[in-house]
Structure 1
């Protein structure tokens, strides 16, 4: 770091000396200090405009373009996650969530509404974890479902675009933790303490996935309204959704009809 700083200082001094040399050469040839100072002051004055244009406007526009590009790529990753992994998992856990009716209006939107109130929906599910009834969860089937998709989950976590989305990464880590926990336990002989711990892990992941689902619905409603209709017709929180049995069937290891 010190060598790099010294190198920059030397380069700066060298460029400054070059400027002094050529200004002196100009004076020796033309003997016109008035002309030199007119252009010198004019060039210095333009530097501030250049800084404004380059660092504050152009740089800002480039950053915004880069952010939008990354956001689009990230949401493609999120869509892949929900299609291949998230929807079946949410559908299965939501079917065991005894408090789901309390947030149903926040996660099941009306496709015919001009503008669903996503702000109110986000406020309603903030901190939501549900209440998973373990009696309705086949942990063996769930463990196999997660284990079979462990490679897919790892590949998502390795995606550099996810660094821009901390909350989604946190959701993936919560699901990954469940995968490891279930794989490490004897699910046929769980103590009450282990059952409570598993219940808490499931509720943590389920709550985070719920928040990600609503945030993603907000995004596609704004940018891809035609896809929003499909998403609502295959909503994993909706007991009346046409594909709900297909999503839950994946966790049970059943082939779609």
Structure 2
């Protein structure tokens, strides 16, 4: 629970306690009816003061002073907390939209291409084909099931199945985009995406610092494959999250994303080609 909601609950609890104290106190000490006690307590806490009712006893007057001094601040606190919740919710929604715009740019310019290259190295890609063949009919439950299935998947890469020099060249060609992404303050708020970019940079540096990539000794090959698995796993989860976002908000973008789905062997960008 965020601090705004906690603060609102505290103010509401104090406001309710003061209101209850006033109602019971005015009924007991001033012999007000229940309705009059509620009415007078509220107008007192709101500092309206119509003057049609007023306490006669010293205890009643003291109670009214307590409700005025405590009630005004508490009431304003409730209003301010509710306002903050709505404003922060709006700002969070805008940040979320901006983040997904950046994520979409990443997958359009680089992410999908990197996924295609890494899937060629996956010895268990057939299982991912079954899990991630997304359709327009997918519901939230389908995305949740896919996410759960991915958590139980053993991610692996075999560098001997692909072309590491070509992967190195691809990552090097995307260096400018990666730098722009990691400099974007919106990205800093998304820890998983930041970890993904950091892992991609690391793999790029590992590959660039090797002159020979076609005949790696086993320990070095396993080291690089571990770096690729790190990227592969983060990338797939981020891709699935983004696809879920498109499914909820942008059907026309989802249409293209499904037609270039790297986990669908039958995917074809040409509409009606299947």
Q: TM-score by structure 2 length?
A: 0.70
Conserved? CA contact 1:147–1:179, under 8 Å: yes
Q: Give the deviation of 1:130 after TM superposition.
A: 2.6
Alignment of 1:85-96 (within 5 A): 85-96=110-121
Larger Rg: 2
Distance 1:97 1:233 in 2: 21
Conserved? CA contact 2:157–2:225, under 8 Å: yes
Distance 1:53 1:225 in 2: 38
Distance 1:115 1:202 in 2: 29
**Greater RCO (CA < 8 Å, at least 6 residues apart):** 1
Question: What residue number does 2:68 align with?
Answer: 42
SS at match of 2:135: coil
Alignment of 1:160-179 (within 5 A): 160-179=185-204
2:268 corresponds to which of 215, 237, 242: 242
SS at match of 1:241: coil
Question: What residue number does 1:144 align with?
Answer: 169
SS at match of 1:237: coil
Distance 2:152 2:194 in 1: 17
Q: Give the deviation of 1:39 after TM superposition.
A: 8.0
Question: What residue number does 1:231 align with?
Answer: 257
Conserved? CA contact 1:174–1:205, under 8 Å: yes
Question: What residue number does 1:201 align with?
Answer: 227
* 1:79 corresponds to 2:104: yes
SS at match of 1:117: helix
Question: What residue number does 1:192 align with?
Answer: 218
Question: May I ask how many residue pairs the two structures share in their alignment?
Answer: 209
Distance 1:215 1:241 in 2: 19
Distance 1:219 1:155 in 2: 23
Question: What residue number does 2:5 align with?
Answer: none
Cα distance change of structure 1 residues 231 and 143 upon mapping to structure 2, 3 Å threshold: same
Question: What residue number does 1:254 align with?
Answer: none
What is the Cα-based RMSD across aligned positions, in Å?
A: 2.3
Question: What residue number does 1:220 align with?
Answer: 246
Q: Which runs of 5+ in 1 are unaligned?
A: 1-33, 245-257
Distance 1:40 1:134 in 2: 75
Conserved? CA contact 1:128–1:207, under 8 Å: no
Q: TM-score by structure 1 length?
A: 0.74
